[in-house]
């Protein structure tokens, strides 16, 4: 029997996340993370068994709900492995669903796949899209609210702080970020990485003020290291600093570890037009 394998990259928190106006939808602009991913292998056989290497990424019931929503079938063993923690705010759950859909040969486009993910677990990151960072994404509705310009070049470094926390689809307790969308578009169109990073920091600051945790070190780390801004997982433990390309200090990983950030990651985004 031959085995098939796929890899689905995650994200690392959100540049922006919050309500679009009072009573409006929860929406986000994701921070894609090419270095964290879910990999999935499928070995054909009878029945359907899903193994998550102890990470509880995707149980059989959710797997069947997704396949039913996509009108797909998959028999055999599916083995999932994530390089990000579940509840870290790095997309492990959505990436596992997307990986399963691809193993099953789903022919649905990204919009249909996103709707199936939301039908399965109530919320979805936009990881099924080619350039998810260019979407203003309503994560509980699987709707693209707006399309955004390319990101300017940024260097990202971060880790996980505090307890992991899985997304609760009914959680709507987020600050209003409607006023940040037009400045985000203008900053991205201008290729202004410092302005983009500052807007991400403002979104994170609003969420931390509303949702905590108290004593979060990310903003202080940004000031101490000369970062242009910072990012948090608005639900989850991912924390990151944003630097204009080439400005990141060489010894920054040790600084993050001393502040309590675990699982250091470093990657680049944007700057490709």
Question: What CATH number did the domain enclosing 24 receive?
Answer: 3.30.230.10
Determine the pLDDT at residue 232. 96
Helix/strand/coil percent split, the chain, to 5 = 30, 30, 40
Along the 273 residues of the chain, how does pLDDT read in single tens digits? 456 899 999 999 999 999 999 899 999 999 999 999 999 999 999 888 888 755 567 888 889 999 999 999 999 999 999 999 989 999 999 999 999 999 999 998 999 999 999 999 999 999 999 999 999 999 999 999 999 999 999 999 999 998 888 888 788 889 999 999 999 999 999 999 999 999 999 999 999 999 989 899 999 999 999 999 999 998 899 999 999 999 999 889 999 999 999 999 999 999 964
Q: Could you count the other beta carbons within 10 Å of the beta carbon of residue 162?
A: 16
Q: Give the tokens for residue 71.
A: 């009108």
Shared domain check, 118 and 51: yes
Shared domain check, 163 and 140: no
b/e sequence 176-204, b meaning 16+ C-beta within 10 Å: ebeebbeebeebbeebbbbbbbbbbbbbb
Q: Give the tokens for residue 161.
A: 């702080």
Determine the pLDDT at residue 3. 63
Determine the pLDDT at residue 234. 87
Per the structure, the complete domain to which residue 85 belongs is given by: 4-146
Shared domain check, 81 and 18: yes
Q: Cβ contacts of residue 182 below 8 Å, gap of 6+?
A: none
Shared domain check, 193 and 111: no
Determine the pLDDT at residue 56. 64
The CATH number covering residue 158 comes to 3.30.70.890
Shared domain check, 113 and 9: yes
Determine the pLDDT at residue 1. 45
Shared domain check, 203 and 135: no
Shared domain check, 47 and 14: yes
Determine the pLDDT at residue 57. 78
Spatial separation of the C-alpha atoms in residues 258 and 262, rounded to whole Å = 9
Q: Cβ contacts of residue 190 below 8 Å, gap of 6+?
A: none
Shared domain check, 134 and 57: yes
Q: Could you count the other beta carbons within 10 Å of the beta carbon of residue 2?
A: 6
> Taking the mean position of all CA atoms in its chain, how far away is CA 64?
23
Chosen domain end from 114, 130, 146: 146
Shared domain check, 177 and 43: no
Q: Are 157 and 228 in contact (CB under 8 A)?
A: no
Spatial separation of the C-alpha atoms in residues 265 and 85, rounded to whole Å = 13
Chosen domain end from 146, 181, 210: 146
Shared domain check, 24 and 86: yes
């Amino acid at each position: 029997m031959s085995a098939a394998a796929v890899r689905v990259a995650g994200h690392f928190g959100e540049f922006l996340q919050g309500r679009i106006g009072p009573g409006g939808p929860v929406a986000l602009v994701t921070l894609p993370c090419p270095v964290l991913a879910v990999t999935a292998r499928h070995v054909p056989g009878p029945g359907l068994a899903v193994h998550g290497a102890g990470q509880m990424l995707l149980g059989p019931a959710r797997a069947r709900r997704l396949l039913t929503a996509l009108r797909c079938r998959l028999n055999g063993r599916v083995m999932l492995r994530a390089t990000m923690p579940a509840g870290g705010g790095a997309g492990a759950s959505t990436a596992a669903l997307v990986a399963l859909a691809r193993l099953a040969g789903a022919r649905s486009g990204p919009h249909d796949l996103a709707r199936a993910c939301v039908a399965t677990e109530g919320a979805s990151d936009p990881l099924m899209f080619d350039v998810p960072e260019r979407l203003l994404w309503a994560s509980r509705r699987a709707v693209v609210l707006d399309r955004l310009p390319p990101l300017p070049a940024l260097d990202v470094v971060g880790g996980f702080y505090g307890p992991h926390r899985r997304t609760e689809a009914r959680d709507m307790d987020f600050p209003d970020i409607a006023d940040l969308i037009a400045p985000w578009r203008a900053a991205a169109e201008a290729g202004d990485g410092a302005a983009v990073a500052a807007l991400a920091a403002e979104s994170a600051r609003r969420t931390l003020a509303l949702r905590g945790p108290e004593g979060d070190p990310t903003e202080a780390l940004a000031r101490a290291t000369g970062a242009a801004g910072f990012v948090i997982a608005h639900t989850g433990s991912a924390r990151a600093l944003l630097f204009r390309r080439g400005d990141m200090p060489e010894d920054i990983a040790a600084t993050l570890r001393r502040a309590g950030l675990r699982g250091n990651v470093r990657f680049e985004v944007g700057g490709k037009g």
